[in-house]
Amino acid sequence: MSTKPAILVLCTGNSCRSHMAEGFLRAAVGDSAEVFSAGSKPAGYVHPLSIKVMAEAGVDLSGHTSKHMNEFLPRRIDVVITVCGNADQVCPMYPGQVARFHWGFDDPAHAQGTEQEILQEFRRVRDEIKVKFAAYGIAVKAGKLQG
């Protein structure tokens, strides 16, 4: 069993925001922590525009899959971070969990408008997630699991 902290990012559909957060956090922590994402009602896919805008930022999500949060109940989770209100409300208690944070972001999958406007919304949300999760990743890498 790994002694590295295990961090789970939760969202409702596990198709956009949680994958973006997972990608940025993994990039920031390197091998200092294990990072996962899941959803309370997984969409069954990772949104293609999430994959696209993250690739623009240098993070590859093409191998990610949409997972249910219950898959992580049997394992040790040290930190749970919810990125949408619904996931925060339905988040179960994970055994041994030392910290739980809620950092809400708009869901770009609900964006409306032209193709370019929708893409801009994905980029905006991506950039907001990057700021929060890159900063948190620096703290994790330094050995501080705090919000």
**Cα 124 from Cα 27, distance rounded (Å):** 19
84 part of the active site = yes
d(CA 29, CA 51): 20
Rg (CA), the chain: 14
91 catalytically annotated: yes
Pick from 97, 103, 89: nearest CA to 40:
89
CA dihedral of 19, 106, 135, 89, whole degrees rounded to 10: -80
Q: Distance (Å, rounded) from C-alpha 79 to C-alpha 71?
A: 15
Question: Strand, helix or coil at 122?
Answer: helix
Catalytic residue from among 7, 87, 91, 140? 91
Catalytic residue chosen out of the listed positions 6, 8, 11, 16: 11
Strand partners, 11: 39
Residues annotated as catalytic (active site), given as ranges: 11, 84, 91
